[in-house]
Structure 1
């Protein structure tokens, strides 16, 4: 009886502290929620990894697999664009996304160059845009879960059909027209979340080289622990770095990257870890910017002076 009472007391404390919000959750707190004796109050756990065999090898208990890349596709020749709202909602409902439940999102692959944490932040962005307001990224991911002494499972888990809010939050996304209209306005800063070699055009990836003129470089990995790229650094550890780059909470921040995954992590961190009040993600990203307007939009290959 005593372990059950202890669990109930822990859940009561979590319920008081984890009100509907978006942020991080520790492995221990996630485990307590997953093991809630009341199944109706357990979280929706989403394994966002692109490798389905990784899910088969082991995942969090009650985790439903949703491959992050099923939420994107080619549109008007531009690859990996976010899908139309009706298709996205259908996929989220199929994954069990529910307006009345907490969502715990995670992936794995703790060391660079592995970047699967970006899958988690991308899915978190899609859920938030759809109107879900109770989202937690598992701090440390599956490696953190195992390091805490918690075992993964190989048992499949499928969520029942979910229930989404009628209204979403489209305001967290920026379009190409938003970027072009606002990028040179006072108080607006564009943040390029890619590695610096891509920012400077020293890569073999992109049709055109460089970055959106005026954008500052801040690689997403600078926000993560060096020994686990799924573990977020406390804001106090990166505050000075962000300020040096000119990324401050008084500005309107537009994050972007190559395909919108890296940018989604920087946006998540600024908005939901650092608490910046006005942060958006340019979803089209560099892949769109270099193609639209008949490839005529300007690009830079040198870093601007931070004002």
Structure 2
């Protein structure tokens, strides 16, 4: 297993990552090792313990075993069909009610996790999606448990079947709605100098070689960067160190000087790519198109593209996208 602390130090997410009983983390969004997470959960002061959220969609998995004090928040309760389009984010008032019910609190640390295995397991996407929603509603202290439940168990840390219900939470007064993009904003921004539109789905879906979507292909001008390239092969809940993927990101045109517009199928894959670029790589300007391909595909007045797009060699400095013919 790679040295998680080394990763933290490299990306400057946890300057003082070695926790001792009695210490707390500074408020920020990032990742945390299971070893450091359990120290927070077992903090001697109950008021300083984190809100632990198990985001798995399979409730029986929660019943089989979960982290101590983990409250089950099924990621898909935050979405539903709207105007015929499935899995759209719920209206803000409903989302606030669900987050308050889950105990989300503006003054506490939030530990989020799911189960990780090799592909096709993608439960990490439920964790990054919930982290995205919390961030959009103004929460500033969020850590995804790196390695998820498998690494937690591998470290010999305790697992329980006891239910845990958080007391009602208290959300920040001010959210961060600007991290979200509408389809109109995507269409207005894509193709402008310095703007890169990136599709986080598997390459076959990006090229329309699938049986999933209403329409095939991708938004014209979008480049392809599959989210799983950022994760360890044997455990898709474990993030690769930034130095290991930096060259891949640069080759794809995903650099910190760009304005990055991220999307995928339903926004879960895009939420992971955005989380990595924003909170691990430290890129300053990364936003998520929430409607993603499932919404765009229903808007048949807008074209779809089947051929791969790339950053043009002569225009790479400005981020202008060209289709590869």
| Fold equivalence (TM over 0.5) | yes
Aligned residue number for residue 132 of structure 1: 139
Residue 287 (structure 2) pairs with residue 274 (structure 1): no
Equivalent position to 1:10, from 5, 8, 20: 20
Q: Where does 1:8-157 land on structure 2 (aligned, <5 Å)?
A: 10-12=20-22, 14-15=23-24, 18-157=25-164
Q: TM-score scaled by structure 2?
A: 0.89
Equivalent position to 1:173, from 175, 180, 187: 180
Deviation at 1:110, TM superposition (A): 1.4
Equivalent position to 1:297, from 298, 302, 306: 302
3-state secondary structure, aligned to 2:309: coil
Aligned residue number for residue 244 of structure 1: 251
Aligned residue number for residue 6 of structure 1: none
Residues 172-196 of structure 1 show CA distances to partners (whole Å, capped at 9, x for unaligned) of: 1111011000001111101100000
Deviation at 1:111, TM superposition (A): 1.6
Q: CA RMSD in A?
A: 1.1
Task: Give the structure with the larger helix fraction.
Answer: 1
Partner Cα distance (2:101, 2:185) in 1: 31
- For these two proteins, the number of residue pairs brought into alignment is 295
Residues 132-160 of structure 1 show CA distances to partners (whole Å, capped at 9, x for unaligned) of: 00000000000010111112110110000
Residues 23-45 of structure 1 show CA distances to partners (whole Å, capped at 9, x for unaligned) of: 00000000000000111110000
Structure 2 unpaired stretches of 5+: 1-18, 313-325
Equivalent position to 2:194, from 184, 187, 191: 187
The ranges of structure 1 where at least 4 consecutive aligned residues each deviate by more than 2 angstroms after the TM superposition are none
Q: TM-score scaled by structure 1?
A: 0.94
Residues 263-289 of structure 1 show CA distances to partners (whole Å, capped at 9, x for unaligned) of: 000000000000000000000000000
Structure 1 unpaired stretches of 5+: 1-8
